[in-house]
Amino acid sequence: MKCSHVTNVGKVRNLNEDYYCMRPDLNFFAVADGMGGHNAGEVASYEAIKCIESDLEVADLDKEDPGAILKLSILKANRLIYDMGYSNKNYNGMGTTISACIFRGEELTVGNVGDSRCYLVRDSSIYRLTEDHSLVEELIRKKQITSLEARSHQQRNVLTRAVGTSSQLEVDIFKYNICTGDLILLCTDGLTEHVPGEEILQVVMEYEPGDAVEILQEETLKRGGSDNITLIVLGVE
């Protein structure tokens, strides 16, 4: 499997609160976008991914259901971050998105909370494999605004679900079949805030993963780089 990534603080933020994980040995990849005061967002994204990663290191992914493992690990991370926020006033209210995937044979398992995304590119088309847990996404589903209007909506960054902000959490788990030649993308909203899916598709179709992530990063920065940018591109071989 070919895998390439970039992470960048962007042109507005002072701190990169995104975190990512690439573990080909576990067939596990993830991105997280932290939120909170001081350095709390950075702590939340790091702790969430490390918690999940630690669970996967001791799991039997060949025999156990990856979806069940991933869901329980995200719930465990939620409790960890929530408790950290409760016990330390500097971390109060911190949280993070998470978009993570596990490969097993021809099956891809995706876990998602928040508005970081996972995409599939196949046969010159791009498909979003996750659903954003955000206010504008709910308005789109209710047909109160269009996707185009959502891009400039004043509350486009308001999440309806995040890891660590509540003691209870609902985790989305999806399963998909994959095949040789597919591309899987994981990204935080720092990318999708500026570059829509159709343009992401054009870049990853034209360039190898290593070049594609750099080009998408540069394009995001050219358009303002208003948030941290993290992107992983995986080529299925």
User: What pLDDT digit, counting tens, does each position of 59-109 carry?
Assistant: 998 899 999 999 999 999 999 999 999 999 999 999 999 999 999 999 999
Helices H, strands E: what count in the chain? 7, 11
- Which positions ≥6 away from 119 have C-beta within 8 Å? 126, 127, 128, 129, 184, 185, 187, 197, 200
Tokens of 114: 């928040």
- Find the CATH number of the domain harbouring 13: 3.60.40.10
Cα(188)–Cα(203) distance, integer angstroms: 17
Please tell me the chain's helix, strand, coil percentages from 3-state DSSP, rounded to the nearest 5: 35, 30, 35
Per-residue model confidence as pLDDT tens for the chain (237 residues) = 889 999 999 999 999 999 999 999 999 999 999 998 667 999 999 999 999 999 999 999 889 999 999 999 999 999 999 999 999 999 999 999 999 999 999 999 999 999 999 999 999 999 999 999 988 888 888 888 877 777 777 777 789 999 999 999 999 999 999 999 999 999 999 999 999 999 999 999 999 999 999 999 999 999 999 999 999 999 999
Number of domains in the chain: 1
Helix (H, G, I), strand (E, B) or coil at 90: helix
Say if residues 185 and 231 touch (Cβ distance below 8 Å): yes
Tokens of 75: 């719930």
Half-sphere exposure of residue 120, counting CA atoms within 13 Å on the CB side? 20
Amino acid letter, residue 109: T
Helix (H, G, I), strand (E, B) or coil at 233: strand
* Residue range of the domain that includes 83: 2-235
For residue 178, what is the DSSP state?
A: -
Residue 219 Rama label (left phi>0; alpha psi -120 to 50; beta): alpha
> Does the predicted TM-score (pTM) go above 0.85?
yes
